Amino acid sequence: MKKNIILAAIFLVIASVFCFASGSKHFQDSEYTAAHTILLHEPGSELNLGMLHPQAALFEKYFNLKKSKIEHQNYVKELNKNGIKTLLVRDVLMAGCIDEHGETIESAETKSLREFAFSVLKYDVSKLSCEKQMKQNDYKKECVAALTAEELVDIILLQPTVLLTETEHNTGVAASYTYNPLMNLFYTRDQIITTPRGVIICKLNSPQRRSESEIIKFCYNKIGITPILEVKGEKAFVEGGDFLLADNCSFIGCGMRTTGEAIGQMLEKDVFGTEMVVVVKDVRYFQAEMHLDTYFNIIDKDLVTLAEERMLAEKGDEKYISADLYNRRNGRYVKIEADISFIKLLRDMGMTIISVSPEDKSRLANNFLTIAPRTIMAVAGQSDEFKLKLKENSVKVTWLPLHNLTKGYGAAHCMTQVIYRK
- Superfamily of domain 2-12+28-93+183-421, CATH level 4: L-arginine/glycine Amidinotransferase; Chain A (3.75.10.10)
Handedness of CA 188, 193, 199, 201 (dihedral sign): negative
Q: Is 120 helix (H, G, I), strand (E, B) or coil?
A: helix
CA distances (Å), 141 to each of 10, 93, 166, in order?
Answer: 30, 20, 20
- Domain boundaries, given as residue ranges, for the chain: 2-12+28-93+183-421, 100-179
Q: How many whole angstroms separate alpha carbon 11 and alpha carbon 27?
A: 18
- Per-residue confidence (pLDDT) for residue 17, from 0 to 100: 38
- Per-residue confidence (pLDDT) for residue 48, from 0 to 100: 93
Tell me the pairing of strands 243-246 and 229-230. unpaired
What's the length of the chain?
Answer: 422
Handedness of CA 333, 335, 339, 340 (dihedral sign): negative
- Per-residue confidence (pLDDT) for residue 184, from 0 to 100: 98
The residue among 1, 222, 13, 11 whose CA lies nearest residue 102 is: 1
Q: Is 417 helix (H, G, I), strand (E, B) or coil?
A: strand
- Per-residue confidence (pLDDT) for residue 7, from 0 to 100: 47
CB 279 within 8 A of CB 266: no
Q: How many whole angstroms separate alpha carbon 360 and alpha carbon 371?
A: 21
User: Which residues are CB-contacts of 223 (< 8 A; sequence separation ≥ 6)?
Assistant: 12, 15, 16, 20, 87, 92, 419
- Per-residue confidence (pLDDT) for residue 27, from 0 to 100: 73
Cα end-to-end distance, the chain, whole Å: 29
Flag whether the pTM goes above 0.95: no
With b meaning 16 or more CB within 10 Å and e meaning fewer, what string describes 3-27?
eebbebbebbeebeeebbeeeeeeb
CB 199 within 8 A of CB 228: yes
**pLDDT profile of the chain (422 residues), mean per 10:** 49 46 60 97 95 96 97 98 97 97 96 98 97 96 98 98 95 96 98 96 96 97 95 97 96 98 98 97 95 98 98 96 97 97 97 98 98 98 98 98 97 97 90
- Per-residue confidence (pLDDT) for residue 12, from 0 to 100: 52
Count Cβ atoms below 10 Å from residue 56 Cβ, excluding itself: 11
